[in-house]
A and B are shown apart, each in its own frame.
Chain A
Amino acid sequence: MGVGSPTGGRSRRTTPRPTFVMKRNRKRGSLRFGTVSKSLAICACVAISGVAYVWQKNAIYRLGDEIKKREAILWSAQKRNLMLSAQLAHLESPAELETKCRACNLSLVAPGESQVVRLYEPGPEWDVQMATAPVPTRTAVQQQAQLRLRNAQSRALAQQGL
């Protein structure tokens, strides 16, 4: 095959070969900095995006694993907490406490009425009374308290037959 007529036959070139002068490539002379930097920036962007995507995916998986581990720890702690609360309730149950007291021979009993000192909350009538009463001095208050305490002690001793 080779260069020839459309029919494929050989023919002699009669017309002179035209002189073809290519236009000079204006960009061929030197690489422009802007273009290079743009290309590099695009490449860098693509590369960074790729790496970031992979890093992010990796981080998501890693965090997922961590969440999973912590969920397991939380679940286990909650489970243990429930177990302990049930154990505590059992140990605090009246029947269990009684059994323990008996086993340890602690001789613990509820206090009798003679062993109870009842303190009364001042009511409104007490407030009214105190509002009109003269303000006692510090020494007087102390004396009253001491007197009350001594009376209480002597009554308690008298009741115990001492």
Chain B
Amino acid sequence: MTLAPQQGRALIVVGALASIFTALAFRLFDLHVLQHKELSLMAQANREQVVRRQGRRGSVLDVNGNLLAESLSVRIVTADATITAPHAAEIADKLAPLLKTDPSSLAQKLSGQSHYVRLSPRVKLDEDAVQKIRAMKLKGIYFEDQFVRSYPNGPLASHVIGFVDAEHKGVQGIEASMEDYLQGQSGYEVIERDRKGREIRALRTEEQGPQDGLNVVLTIDQVIQHIAEQELDKAMEQFKPQAGAILVSRPKTGEILAMSSRPTFDPTDMAATSADARRNRCISDVAEPGSTFKIVVCSGALNEGIVTLTDPFDCENGAFIYAGRVLHDAHPYGVLSVEEILFHSSNIGAAKVGLKMGPTRLYDYIRRYGFGRKTDIALPGEVSGIAHPLSRWNGLSITRIPMGHEIAVTPLQMLMAMNTIANKGVRMKPMIVKSVVGAEGTTVLQCQPQVVGRVITAPTSELMAMALRKVVGPDGTAPKAAVPGFDVAGKTGTAQKIENGQYVRKYFSTFVGYFPAADPQVSILVSLDDPTGDVYYGGSVAGPVFRAAAEKIAEYLGMEPQAAPTEVAKVS
């Protein structure tokens, strides 16, 4: 059988077409069936895009709900320098006035090799500027939403609040210690975009919204903090010390109402701060407490029944030789009772009380008051101070420690010791965080005052209060610390500083006290490191600061003066 030429050609065409379609069919089968999994994933990856959404960091609030730190969303300008490089100078000239920056530095950024350059890091760009930049239609210039941390009160309570780094992570203060609560959780969206780059909302396949961080409520009161800082600043101006610290607390609960130290820093301008200024001296600096430490030895001896307030001690007219060394008093005293030792602040008297008490019991009380260990306040960077164990005491230690030498404490430890006496002998843990609340106001964590333990009995604390009230009396060491209308109990301290292992003529002037003495509501510690001028005693330097702060705080808290000289009406 022979085929006609037309039939042959037709067969060739049909065959060719059949093989082409077979090949195509196989390719289709290959793409749609054999390689389905890989290719569908590739196609999905081409279409879809995962967009991460950052959760907002929680706020820090004071005890009354006033904002101390908050995260704000700002729009920043970024660039792909590989695209902008050819026209860097031109673009920089256009953008510099809107970004409020220098054109030359901007041009330098725009001419680099990086695909991602931040042109306006942490600058709050207003909407007008955004629209103007958008209208310029500059290639390689993009916008990005970012969070920046805002501190509405500026440097107020900066040592307590702390600050965050460029990645929005807490570095110091509450920002660091409460990082787990404050940080938000990022969310994500799987989206598809149209050819203009806009998201097609209907094709959003997955969506996990970001979760904002929790808000931390502090025990700090913004107004009391302001009063404390204002008075500390005045003292810094007047006495020009190297550093200063002030602490205000509620003795019954251990709540810290204000905490500040100088030098300070502004968390909104971290570039201008030094590491020295960032240090929270209330918890991270230690110094010999000086005479303020006499409350430990006297209360311990009273509590053990070794002495009574009226027991006489010969203060050797200002020079007491013990273990071959002479111990001096600031003023020569003869025989003083324990009460007088406290309000005259006799070193020799305190040393003799210490000798009567013995090293073991003295060391026991030092530890019971919490010296030599951290108070566990919820702030990073706290140090434990120095309280040598008995094995490291020398022959002189028993006379030096009662007057606040050979021991180093933080201002917070000293305040908590005074609070123990104010709180009928019960030591409280310092409290700086009141609660942690969600964005809707739901309380996640409620902090309660915590009792550490009983140090002295209530009657002993009353005896101590009786003696400490006389410190601010006319015969005491701090008459300038007396607050009109209120009964104040306190203790002065003037500790010599040590430089290169030697005591030098530089002093730490301290006053720590509480009021009203009968029903303590507020306790305050003021400490100034090396005040200049002729006056350096704690009662003369720190005492007036205590009084000024106490007067204003009492007024703010609406505390009624006990002796009400100006009471107008009493309606009951």
Contacts and interface: CB of A to CB of B under 8 A. Distances in A.
Interface of A: 60-61, 63-65, 67-68, 78-79, 82-83, 85-87, 89-90, 92-95, 110, 112-114, 116-120, 122, 126, 148, 151-152, 155-156, 159
A64 B152 contact: no
B379 to A, nearest CB: 22
Which 10 interchain pairs have the tightest Cβ spacing? A64-B201, A64-B202, A152-B569, A89-B152, A89-B67, A114-B566, A94-B226, A90-B152, A68-B201, A93-B153
B252 to A, nearest CB: 20
Which residue of A94, A95, A112, A151 has the most chain B CB atoms within 10 A of its CB atom? A94
B459 interface: no
A113 B70 CA distance: 37
Interface stretch (B159-167, B473-481, B553-561): B553-561
Given A65-B201, A82-B72, A95-B154, A122 B572 contact: yes
Contacts of A64: 200-204
Interface string B205-244: 0000000000000000011001000000000000000000
A95 B556 CA distance: 15
A122 B570 CA distance: 12
A114 B561 CA distance: 11
Nearest to B150: A86
B567 A118 contact: yes
A67 B201 CA distance: 7
A157 B152 CA distance: 43
Contacts of A85: 67, 70
Contacts of B90: none
Nearest to B71: A82
Nearest to A78: B73
Nearest to A116: B568
A82 B199 contact: no
A82 B70 CA distance: 8
A157 to B, nearest CB: 10
B449 interface: no
Given A110-B555, A112-B566, A155-B568, A83 B72 contact: yes
Given A85-B67, A148-B569, 5 more contacts: A64-B204, A78-B73, A93-B153, A93-B154, A156-B568
A148 B570 CA distance: 9
B156 interface: yes
A92 B156 CA distance: 13
A120 B572 CA distance: 6
A113 B568 CA distance: 9
A93 B157 CA distance: 12
B504 interface: no
B564 interface: yes
A127 to B, nearest CB: 12
A93 B200 CA distance: 44
A13 to B, nearest CB: 29
A119 B567 CA distance: 11
The A interface is mostly helix, strand or loop, or mixed, namely helix
Nearest to A86: B150
Nearest to B70: A86
B202 A60 contact: yes
B334 interface: no
Contacts of A151: 569
A98 to B, nearest CB: 8
Contacts of A122: 572
B66 interface: yes
A83 B568 CA distance: 45
B66 A117 contact: no
B485 A89 contact: no
Nearest to A126: B572
B70 A119 contact: no
B569 A89 contact: no
Contacts of A92: 66
Interface in B139-174: 150, 152-154, 156
B571 interface: yes
16 contacts: A65-B201, A86-B72, A89-B153, A113-B564, A113-B566, A113-B567, A114-B566, A114-B568, A116-B568, A117-B568, A120-B570, A148-B569, A152-B568, A152-B569, A155-B568, A155-B569
A93 B566 CA distance: 31
A79 B565 CA distance: 52
Nearest to A66: B201
A82 B199 CA distance: 26
B236 to A, nearest CB: 16
A111 to B, nearest CB: 8
A113 B222 contact: no
Contacts of B555: 110
B568 A93 contact: no
A122 B571 CA distance: 9
A34 to B, nearest CB: 42
A68 B207 CA distance: 13
Contacts of A119: 571
Nearest to B61: A89
Contacts of B204: 64
Contacts of B567: 113, 118
Interface string B45-75: 0000000000000000000001100111100
A143 B71 CA distance: 58
Given A64-B200, A64-B201, A90 B153 contact: yes
